[in-house]
Structure 1
Amino acid sequence: MTTLAAVELENAPQGLQHEHETLFTADSVCFLAELISTFDKQVDEILRHRVGRKMELEQTGGLPGFSSLTSHLREDRTWRVLPVPERLQNRHVDIGDLAPSDTERFIQALRSKAQGIQVDFDDGNCPTYFNQIKGIFNVCKAVRNQFQGVPPISKAPVLMLRPRAWNMVEHNMMVNGKEVPGPLFDFGLLMYHNGKLLVENKSGPFFYLSKVESYLEARLWNNIFVWTEQKLGLPAYSIKATVLIESILATFEMDEILFELRDHTAGLNCGIWDYSASFVNKLGDRSAFLLPDRSKYVNMEKLFLQSYMDLLVQTCHRRGALATGGMAALLLPNDTQSAHYHSVMATVTRLKMLEINAGVDGFMVYDLKLIEPLQKLFQKHTLGPNQLHVLREDVVVTPEDLLAMPSGGVTLHGLRYNIVVGILFIEAWLTGRGHFFYLGQVEDSATAEISRSQVWQWIRHQVKLEDDDRAISRSLVKTLAEEIRRELQDFLQCNTEKAKRRLATATAMFLEVVQKRDFPEFFTTYLNLDHTFLSSST
């Protein structure tokens, strides 16, 4: 395999010389360079298309809607996606947010009774060079059954590989003088080293695709899949992908997204926080789209989120694709007899029953202790391995339903909570972690995204607090952030000057992003490009 691309690759991260040499062979680098050279311009085009769509909405004051240009695809009830592979037909409970660089947790997940694992290089992962190399190498070991006490890949929970989203860049490799798209770096290495073995074991390759905003992006991914299958000599249509519908724009194109990926799709996924944040991203300057306190007024029972989930299930099942729900972020206490344990279990059960009743075919959990009780819940309330037979013909969703903001205001608790989550996420990022634990649940870039989005929007619209009628201003947020920084020193046990400086840096960065005149498109882009992995010694 040869390529004319000029390639520059950073040296191995400290302590990962063997992993680096194993992944970056002469042939794998050539494959990766050719993949990136082939699709780099198209990646730039879809990113420019995103900017253009947002500018059009801002300049015209228009609203997202179902396109008349693709109405024939939506109205044609005859087309279907290719049948879902056997290993994907029963995925009641997947483990979510699993950064594969965390070797111990990855092994625990592989030994678990979950049906699948979201092997996450995106939301739950901080994409340092160390984490990417370690994580991809660990996937290679799992596929080759090199972890002791772990079932062979054909028997272990199926790996749902989640590369970074289009907004992320890999700084440690350059092709033709340009840093490379993060998702192509991740996808290329994962496919080159594991694609054939996964096909031989009828266990993939299966992917999650994050933050897709249009059917044009789905078309690009489909082209990448076709090219990769041909280059690696894999059977046609062997790659399958689940698209995460995390943007209000993508919600109006779910049929079209499935159509573009009809030979390579496993279905669509819905999740609450990235999706909610997309309203601020695309429409946040308008007071009509003011999103109220998420800790009090935003949940899957609200019309705009319920409509989104109902439409996703209906669209998927009409086309023969799987519809999967979000992740239970709550953590179960160890004491199974405690009132707290039963309270958490009751909350998770109620929320997951909403999804089961909507017709989803599965969902995710973070806490491994939730796997078996939620599998039993699914089995008790459904028939068979999935709910593809639940066609939801009762569902009629209008654009107004999808764009209906819930009523409600902002509480001081909600404001403080969003500030805490934003600061703690940045602090975790500066130490190379993509998630953290707070108040009995896991928080990742999705919750950080909605947190910083809401604070930015509340400042922009000078929303008044329900508690005391104070307007949310830059001054108020600064004051609260400083109070919170002092409180978090104890929570994080910042016993060294280095740790205190890191927390101060995280606080300053959070304030910077929520005060920007123009809304930063993605929190992780801001961290990855404007602050390229600031040293934790800052």
Structure 2
Amino acid sequence: MSCPEGVELSSPPRGLEEEYSRLFTADALLFLRELVSTLDEEVDQVLKLRVLRKAQLDLSGDLPGFSEATSYIRSDPTWRVLPVPPRLQRRHVDVGDLAPCDTQRLMQALQSPAQGLQIDFDDGNCPTHYNQIKGIHNVYKAVHNQFPNVPSISQAPVLMLRPRAWNMVDHNMMVNGKEVPGPLYDFGLLMFHCGKTLFKYKSGPFFYLSKVESFMEARLWNKIFVWTQNKLGLPLGSIKATVLIENVLAAFEMEEILYELQEHSAGLNCGIWDYSASFVNKFGHREAFLLPDRSKYVSMEKRFLRSYMELLVQTCHRRGAFATGGMAAQLLPQDHRSPSHRTTLANVTRLKLLEIKAGVDGFMVYDLGLIEAMQKLFQMHIRGDNQLHRVRDDLTVTPDDLLSMPTGGVTLYGLEHNIAVGVLFIDAWLLGKGHFFYRGQVEDSATAEISRSQVWQWIRHEARLEDDNRLVTRGLVTDLTQKVVRELRVVTCCDTARAEQRLLTAAEMFLEVVQKRDFPEFLTTYLNLDHTFISSHTNGRLAAGNHKPKL
């Protein structure tokens, strides 16, 4: 394949030569080159602004608040986002964490009664070269009705495409001598090959935007949308995007984010674990922001999370935008008559009912078996397609509400659970998978982020275990990691030398990241730039010699 000047591509993944050729046509490469060349400098700017904002908070000791500089946006009652198309008016239940490289699960979801599918190139996906090409090509096939026994794109659940976040780069494409930002790679290919068809059938193009930290990042996305629509000949406002408010700084700029995306907004989304992890990311070195055991003390019923969800709903509905909740990660036991099935369903119902009563217009589930039960829950408790009429004028949320840490301590169970989730996530990544199943629910980068964040913070502040008053130290975490790995060998059926070696490597990498002096901002960034991960998927095998296990 001849690349245009300024573009370098890795060779196609083995077994995907035909898919690769279909995606990387001469016209597609020219489109990607121009997209990246036009906007790459602004991508670098917003990432530098993140670093600057973090440094300002660290040096000053200040806390975030609602900015006076943008108060004119919040105080103006007249502006609204543009109405969304009919297919987005009723999205009570979406399927979440849908890694598009998993062809079988994608086809099952397309055949399901869900209203929407989160086509996830971010949290639930491991961005190997193979997975990205397979996933984007699978979206192409779904949009162009090339899957057998699957409804046409105009009848199937609507696709909510979720490109990688700004912290990720793609190692397999370079433009003008630089690796391409992951979200531009994903967004560009998806729009070039699918955007016009989705618009023609009134089924998109619709997106989720991950890990947005400020209205400046929303402004950048809006510029990307406008540029792309002009380039492809689509009307302004064709693209609609839901922004995931999964960072504490973004929680103070929700109205500004909607304002920047007025023509392109499909609303805002809230989720518990990435948002909770962002507190450690931004304030983790401050003892006042010690986050207690998430398994025991952190839930949407706590003040800081309840306030964030209520403010998100109020903000969205005030501006005519949709507010959506997080994902139910629980897996339903297959035996519908078993007590465990009833218990799991009851727990999911209780938690999702809290979100419905808070005013959300929809939320996500992972297990396809939960779709119909959760749709019935909506039908029982709301009238019509959504809850836009609930503007929550009675509600006042203050900075203190958003920054109020829950009380509680650290338990041995919580520490061991966080270690297990962190190690297993890294193990999954080394295997080329973005999520895994553990103790009855799906785990992805969001739960891995909160898990490793808490272990890092507990070591940093030498928190004490409630069980026996021991300090959480590097030594204790190392000892517990050895214990957890011995148990995981049985749980994960490490029946080959390669599997055992990979698990040990994952444990070493986990210990490395939780013991660093400075908090690594994103676990996925650390993994994506680590030589062990890159070489394991470049050469098709785990290069364990580069990260020799010591456990």
Aligned to 2:484: 484
1-structure distance, mates of 2:340, 2:520: 38
Aligned to 1:437: 437
2-structure distance, mates of 1:533, 1:109: 30
Aligned to 1:472: 472
**1:530 CA displacement:** 2.8
1-structure distance, mates of 2:46, 2:486: 42
**1:509 CA displacement:** 0.1
2:344 matches 1:344? yes
**Is residue 418–residue 455 contact of structure 2 (8 Å, CA) maintained in 1?**
yes
**1:30 CA displacement:** 0.3
Deviations 1:251-272 (CA, angstroms, capped at 9, x unpaired): 0000000000000010000000
| Aligned 1:381-392 pairs, distance under 5 A | 381-392=381-392
2-structure distance, mates of 1:234, 1:79: 24
2-structure distance, mates of 1:533, 1:268: 33
| Aligned 1:50-65 pairs, distance under 5 A | 50-65=50-65
With normalisation by structure 2, the TM-score equals 0.97
Aligned to 1:74: 74
**Is residue 5–residue 37 contact of structure 1 (8 Å, CA) maintained in 2?**
no
Aligned to 2:47: 47
Deviations 1:273-315 (CA, angstroms, capped at 9, x unpaired): 0000000000000000000000000000000000000000000
**1:496 CA displacement:** 1.2
Amino acid at match of 2:534: F
The alignment partner of 1:170 has SS state of: strand
Relative to structure 2, which stretch is displaced further, 403-412 or 525-534? Answer: 525-534
**1:501 CA displacement:** 0.6
1-structure distance, mates of 2:348, 2:140: 33
2-structure distance, mates of 1:329, 1:392: 28
2-structure distance, mates of 1:13, 1:230: 32
Ranges of 4+ aligned residues in structure 1 off by more than 2 Å: 530-534
Amino acid at match of 1:341: H
**Is residue 326–residue 364 contact of structure 1 (8 Å, CA) maintained in 2?**
yes
**Is residue 416–residue 480 contact of structure 2 (8 Å, CA) maintained in 1?**
yes
2:534 matches 1:533? yes
**Is residue 270–residue 309 contact of structure 1 (8 Å, CA) maintained in 2?**
yes
Aligned to 1:264: 264
**Is residue 430–residue 533 contact of structure 1 (8 Å, CA) maintained in 2?**
no
Deviations 1:226-262 (CA, angstroms, capped at 9, x unpaired): 0000000111110000000000000000000000000
**Is residue 81–residue 320 contact of structure 2 (8 Å, CA) maintained in 1?**
yes
Aligned to 1:99: 99
**Is residue 145–residue 152 contact of structure 1 (8 Å, CA) maintained in 2?**
yes
**1:85 CA displacement:** 1.1
| Aligned 1:209-248 pairs, distance under 5 A | 209-248=209-248
1-structure distance, mates of 2:362, 2:496: 44
**Is residue 5–residue 34 contact of structure 1 (8 Å, CA) maintained in 2?**
no
Report the CA distance shift for 1:5/1:404 in structure 2 as closer, same or farther (over 3 A).
farther
What CA RMSD, in Å, does the superposition of the two structures yield over aligned residues? 0.9
Aligned to 1:289: 289
**Is residue 430–residue 534 contact of structure 1 (8 Å, CA) maintained in 2?**
no
| Aligned 1:5-44 pairs, distance under 5 A | 6-44=6-44
Deviations 1:472-527 (CA, angstroms, capped at 9, x unpaired): 00000000001111111111111111111100000000000000000000000000
| Aligned 1:62-461 pairs, distance under 5 A | 62-461=62-461
**Is residue 166–residue 182 contact of structure 1 (8 Å, CA) maintained in 2?**
yes
2-structure distance, mates of 1:270, 1:534: 35
**1:77 CA displacement:** 1.0
1-structure distance, mates of 2:137, 2:4: 27
Deviations 1:436-478 (CA, angstroms, capped at 9, x unpaired): 0000000000000000000000000000000000000000000
Deviations 1:186-233 (CA, angstroms, capped at 9, x unpaired): 000000000100000000000000000000000000000000000001
**1:5 CA displacement:** 5.3
The alignment partner of 2:437 has SS state of: strand
Structure 1 gap ranges (5+) = none
2-structure distance, mates of 1:129, 1:187: 16
**Is residue 4–residue 29 contact of structure 2 (8 Å, CA) maintained in 1?**
no
Aligned length: 536
The alignment partner of 2:413 has SS state of: helix
Deviations 1:105-130 (CA, angstroms, capped at 9, x unpaired): 00000000000000000000000010
1-structure distance, mates of 2:231, 2:396: 43
Structure 2 gap ranges (5+) = 545-551
Report the CA distance shift for 1:455/1:534 in structure 2 as closer, same or farther (over 3 A).
farther
The alignment partner of 2:97 has SS state of: strand
Relative to structure 2, which stretch is displaced further, 273-282 or 76-85? Answer: 76-85
**Is residue 7–residue 173 contact of structure 2 (8 Å, CA) maintained in 1?**
yes
**1:533 CA displacement:** 3.1
With normalisation by structure 1, the TM-score equals 0.99
**1:4 CA displacement:** 7.7
2-structure distance, mates of 1:349, 1:4: 53
